[in-house]
A and B are shown apart, each in its own frame.
Chain A
Amino acid sequence: MKGMYTWSAILVIVFASVVGDVLLARAMKQVGDVGALRRRAGLGVVIGRTLGNRNFMLGVLAMAVAFFSLLFALSWGDVSLVAPAAASLTFIGNAVAAKIFLHERVDRRRWIAASLVAAGVALLAG
């Protein structure tokens, strides 16, 4: 029963951080190349445009949800299960979500990279 709580919390963490990462990535693509924008318009414009972006704010909110569900999951399950499981599933989830929602060209090279990193993270923290 406790295991089911822990795994549901892990799934919530993964879902919230994938949503957060996708929203933040989309927001920053809308803001545009930060380096070029800063040279052209100054740092104030960069910060203003970032904080004024709706996707950015929703992304930060999703990240906060992920953070607090991590705290809950850690109080139910072992850190050696929760942290690596959440981190490595997030890598895979992000690859899928970036392909569907951000239209990134996730080719074989990137699938292999995401899977190797996910497996490595699971081993490292396990």
Chain B
Amino acid sequence: MTFRKYLVLAGVTLFAAAGDAMLSHGMKQTGSISLNHLQGVIFAILNPWVAGGILLLLAFFATYMTALSWADLTYVLPSTSLGYVLLALVARFLLHEHVSPLRWFGIALITSGVGFVAGGPALTEHGHEFAEDSHATEVGAGSHLLAKDARNGARVEL
């Protein structure tokens, strides 16, 4: 994992949280959209908050795809879930909403979950030889798998 890759993961987290926040703020201004009044969607997109939110969510999608090109799904998803924590902190300290003790407990759980996954390798799959930057991790994971297979094999023979 290089510094640039941590930046991409931070981008996934920030763009998702900020995009969702802007979108929900904008949609509260434009009012609800029903299936009978689909032209309301066009008015919604003209709202600057909604437009900004959509742009940020596009940026989220681009960084998310970038991260998935060199890291496992089970690594990217937990490590970018800090966005939920970020939204709760924004709600508490910028919007002055009440955050209940149960929600603080939720924040603690998510943060410790991120700590767990961040301590391990980013890429564990094998069979994809495209990733040039991460040969070291792939070889490391590969040899680990071989060792595991060997152990399993021994157990089967026993």
Chain A residues packing against B (C-beta within 8 Å): 21-22, 24-25, 28-37, 50, 91, 94-95, 98-99, 102-107, 109-110, 112-117, 119-126
A29 touches B69 (CB 8 A): yes
B73 touches A98 (CB 8 A): yes
Chain B CB within 10 Å, residue with most, of A34, A91, A109: A34
A105 touches B119 (CB 8 A): no
B60 smallest CB distance to A (angstroms) = 12
Q: How far is the CA of A35 from the CA of B7 in the complex (A)?
A: 12
Q: A124 — which chain B residues lie within 8 A by C-beta?
A: 84-85, 88, 103, 106-107, 110
Q: How far is the CA of A99 from the CA of B75 in the complex (A)?
A: 12
For B109, the closest partner residue in chain A by CB is A120
A44 smallest CB distance to B (angstroms) = 14
Whether a CB of chain A sits under 8 angstroms from the CB of B128 is: yes
A98 touches B72 (CB 8 A): yes
> Which of B42-50, B131-139, B150-158 sits within the interface?
B131-139
Q: B97 — which chain A residues lie within 8 A by C-beta?
A: none
For A119, the closest partner residue in chain B by CB is B109
**Which 7 A-B residue pairings sit nearest by Cβ, starting from the closest?**
A32-B130, A123-B106, A116-B113, A120-B109, A120-B110, A124-B106, A105-B124
The answer to whether A109 and B107 touch (CB under 8 A), given A33-B131, A35-B70, A104-B72, is: no
Q: How far is the CA of A22 from the CA of B125 in the complex (A)?
A: 13
Q: Can you name 11 A-B pairs with beta carbons within 8 Å?
A: A32-B130, A103-B126, A105-B145, A110-B116, A113-B74, A114-B77, A117-B109, A119-B109, A123-B102, A124-B103, A126-B106
B68 touches A102 (CB 8 A): no
In the complex, chain B residues 11-70 whose Cβ is within 8 Å of any chain A Cβ: 64-66, 68-70
A117 touches B145 (CB 8 A): no
For A123, the closest partner residue in chain B by CB is B106
